[in-house]
Amino acid sequence: MTEARSEPRPSRRRRSLPLAAAITFVVIVVALAIASRVSLNYYVLSPGDAPSVGPLIKVPADRAHRISGPILLTDVFVSQVTALSYLPDLLSGNDQVVPADELESPGIPASELTAQGYLEMVQAKAAAKTAAFGRLGYHVPEQNAGAVIAAVGSNTPAYGALRVGQVLTAVDGVSTPTVCDAVGQLAKFGPGQQVTLSVEKNRFTADGTLVQGPTVTKSLRLATRPADVSADSGCPRVKPARGFLGVSIQTQQDFTYPFPVTINTADIGGPSAGLAMTLGLINTLSGGHLTGGRIVAATGTIDPSGDVGDVGGVAQKTIAVEQAGATVFFVPPPELGAARSKATSSLHVYAVSTLAQALSILQKLGGHVPPATGAH
């Protein structure tokens, strides 16, 4: 019997490997592309910038002083988490992943988030100027100027007709200088009824600058109030509303300053730079030696009377200010622990709940703090 010997045959598997590898590569690329476009119901907070607030402030030349030690404001980068970025974001030691409902209000579309942040910055700048001028002894008159729109709900009568930053000045011809005036007038109308609004048609530019527009008239038909939306106005002597417009409004306050001041915060939203802007303006107007030559950073909201309020993303802001060379960092009391968890020994973190406390600390650190005086 003759032994049969097979000749070696080319391996089909070996021949198909390049094709299989190519197909696998394409599948992976397509999967990654899809994952990068699938947005999850989370946002990630990342360390942002910490610019000096001094160059952002513009006052009349005869009022300005050379700055010997900068005051830094700080922000965070906010971006929506995707299926692709979720795990890296979650494992990052410098980033924080938060549920979307911590940043978004129920029923308010995510597309409004940027405009809301810009409105908060506009309000923060007004409060910072008022607090700074008040500390320097100037009288700052204020007046109620309408009901500013802070949010517009999706699938509501207001959606598409009204925008964040616009101001309701009258309802059916009746002036509405405060939020309670506006709510009280709207409460007189029921579902299905037409209401005529006088609206200051303001808008935000791409970098967050508020451009004031003309006052126009808009007629909208009120809807039935959703079951999960309270009818309680929160205003004394105002009956629960029957109709539903679909906006969140606040009293618009206009201030008259003793001389022009502008603060350029292009592309920065939110209220958390209030304290930093207040300190920066005081520094510019009072001699430029408020920090004693140190690099000082601050985060916290400010109100016209000088009270400091809570903010978010302080851990990420701490990283940013330390990278910028700050040695002093003011934060609201609830955020002290978060800041110290990221601070090294070179950064001294102080909790302050008022502008006066921050100024007192700066004075103890060798800064030149202007004395509190009566109104000019």
Say yes or no: 325 and 339 in one domain.
yes
CATH code of the domain in which 362 resides: 3.30.230
Say yes or no: 205 and 66 in one domain.
no
37 part of a folded domain: no
64 part of a folded domain: yes
Query: Which 3-state string (H, E, C) describes the chain?
Result: CCCCCCCCCCCHHHHHHHHHHHHHHHHHHHHHHHHHHCEEEEEEEEECCCCECHHHEECCCCCCCCCCCCEECCCEEEEEEECCCHHHHHHCCCCEEEEHHHCCCCCCCHHHHHHHHHHHHHHHHHHHHHHHHHHCCCCCCEEEEEEEEEEECCCCCCECCECCCCEEEEECCEECCCHHHHHHHHCCCCCCCEEEEEEECCEECCCCCEECCCEEEEEEECEECCCCCCCCCCCCCCCCCCEECCEEEEEEEEECCCCCCEECCCCCCCCCCHHHHHHHHHHHHHCCCCCCCCCEEECCEECCCCEEECCCCHHHHHHHHHHCCCCEEEECHHHHHHHHHHCCCCCEEEECCEHHHHHHHHHHCCCCCCCCCCCC
pTM given for the model: 0.86
Say yes or no: 334 and 284 in one domain.
yes
Digits of tens for pLDDT over the chain (376 positions)?
Answer: 444 444 444 444 455 567 777 777 666 666 666 756 667 788 888 999 999 999 999 999 999 999 999 999 999 988 887 877 778 877 778 888 888 777 777 767 777 888 999 999 999 999 999 999 999 999 999 999 999 999 999 899 999 999 999 999 999 999 999 999 999 999 999 999 999 999 999 999 999 999 999 999 999 999 998 888 877 778 888 887 889 999 999 999 999 999 999 999 999 999 999 999 999 999 999 999 999 999 999 999 999 999 999 999 999 999 999 999 999 999 999 999 999 999 999 999 999 999 999 999 999 999 999 987 766 6
Domain count, the chain: 2
Say yes or no: 261 and 242 in one domain.
no
109 part of a folded domain: no
Say yes or no: 149 and 236 in one domain.
yes
Listed residues 226, 255, 284: the one ending a domain? 255
Listed residues 255, 285, 312: the one ending a domain? 255
192 part of a folded domain: yes
Which residue segment(s) compose the domain that 52 sits in?
Answer: 47-81+124-141+257-376
339 part of a folded domain: yes
Say yes or no: 245 and 335 in one domain.
no
Say yes or no: 273 and 183 in one domain.
no
CATH code of the domain in which 153 resides: 2.30.42.10
